[in-house]
């Protein structure tokens, strides 16, 4: 879904909390995990982001030059961008721009195999996309010279926003309903097995070996692999502690910075 090669961008703000040895390390791992090649990287210190394009004018030009030179198809920001900043950057750079959240959702969408994980990802994607659709239609309403978007006027963009909003809401309601049903079923399944057991959770950074440990301690069945977000759902099995004692062990989705 994403293009072959990317330029990565990271803006260091006064309150940013990055790994000082390799600030772009985690984003690079995420990008590679999505099957995208890293063509170039750009870091920038700023006191605060600048409105429409997040980066200042000079930096946007430098970035545009890098994109052309490196023939990159996409620019990926480690910082979270607003819908209008994404749009402003795409216009200035003439290529696709995504931020960290969208990248992670893209990876999750490709990894999700169970119905539950697929539902969770689609819900997150819809919630993420909805405000961005709005920015796009508002923009179209302006450039096509449609009715002005002022108070009390309803240009074509405005109508489209209403339609999109309704479609998104209906789809979200349906997905959430299905998810609640699955969660209820799983809950009953697990409850019937753990009546007399404690449950212990395996938590930690993604790709740190949780599922491998889970498989070693229980009858297994968890998918373990050298990649970020191999596990996209929880899995519960009995952990035999010896001496006739047992507890339930839960494998979980790994976390990343933030």
Q: Kindly list the residues in this chain that would bind ligand GTP in the complex (CB under 6 A).
A: 206-212, 224-226, 228-231, 254
CB of 212 to ligand GTP, least distance (A): 3
3-class secondary-structure state, position 46: coil
Decide: is 207 part of the binding site for Mg ion (CB under 5 A): no
Shortest distance (Å) from residue 179 CB to ligand GTP = 21
Distance (Å, rounded) from C-alpha 99 to C-alpha 78?
Answer: 6
Residue 51 and residue 7: Cα distance in Å, rounded? Answer: 21
Q: Which is nearer to ligand GTP, 129 or 212 (CB)?
A: 212
Q: How far is the CB of 96 from ligand GTP (least distance, A)?
A: 26
Say which DSSP state 15 is in: T
Q: Which of 211, 228, 235, 250 touches Mg ion by CB under 5 A?
A: 211
Residue 64 interaction partner, one of Mg ion, ligand GTP, none, beta carbon < 5-8 Å per kind: none
Strand 37-45's sheet: what is its strand order?
37-45, 5-12, 74-77, 96-99
Q: Provide, rounded to whole angstroms, the least separation between the CB of residue 256 and Mg ion.
A: 13
Q: Which of ligand GTP, Mg ion, none does residue 258 bind (CB under 5 to 8 Å by kind)?
A: none
Looking at the Cβ atoms of 30 and 72, the one nearer to ligand GTP is 30
The H or E element containing residue 92 is: helix 83-93
Question: Is residue 79 close enough to count as binding Mg ion by CB under 5 A?
Answer: no
How far CA 163 is from CA of 111, 130, 150, 156, 172, in Å, comes to 30, 12, 19, 11, 14
């Amino acid at each position: 879904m994403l293009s072959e090669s990317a330029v990565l961008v990271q803006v260091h703000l006064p309150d940013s909390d990055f790994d000082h040895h390799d600030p772009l390390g985690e984003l690079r791992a995420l990008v590679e995990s999505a099957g995208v090649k890293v063509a170039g990287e750009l870091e920038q210190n700023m006191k605060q982001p600048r409105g429409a394009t997040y980066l200042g004018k000079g930096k946007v030009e430098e970035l545009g030059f890098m994109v052309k030179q490196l023939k990159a198809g996409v620019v990926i920001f480690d910082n979270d961008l607003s819908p209008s900043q994404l749009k402003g950057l795409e216009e200035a750079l003439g290529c696709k721009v995504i931020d960290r959240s969208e990248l992670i959702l893209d990876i999750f969408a490709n990894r999700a195999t169970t119905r539950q994980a697929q539902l969770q990802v689609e819900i997150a994607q819809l919630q993420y996309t909805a405000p961005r659709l709005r920015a796009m239609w508002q923009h179209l309403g302006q450039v096509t010279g449609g009715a002005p978007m002022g108070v009390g006027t309803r240009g074509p963009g405005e109508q489209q926003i209403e339609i999109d909003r309704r479609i998104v809401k209906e789809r979200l309601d349906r997905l959430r309903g299905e998810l609640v049903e699955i969660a209820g079923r799983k809950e009953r399944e697990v409850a019937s097995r753990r009546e007399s057991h404690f449950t212990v959770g395996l938590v930690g950074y993604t790709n740190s070996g949780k599922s491998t440990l889970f498989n070693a301690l229980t009858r297994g069945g968890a998918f373990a692999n050298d990649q970020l977000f191999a596990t996209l759902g929880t899995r519960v099995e009995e952990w035999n502690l010896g001496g006739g004692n047992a507890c339930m062990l839960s494998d979980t989705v790994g976390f990343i910075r933030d």
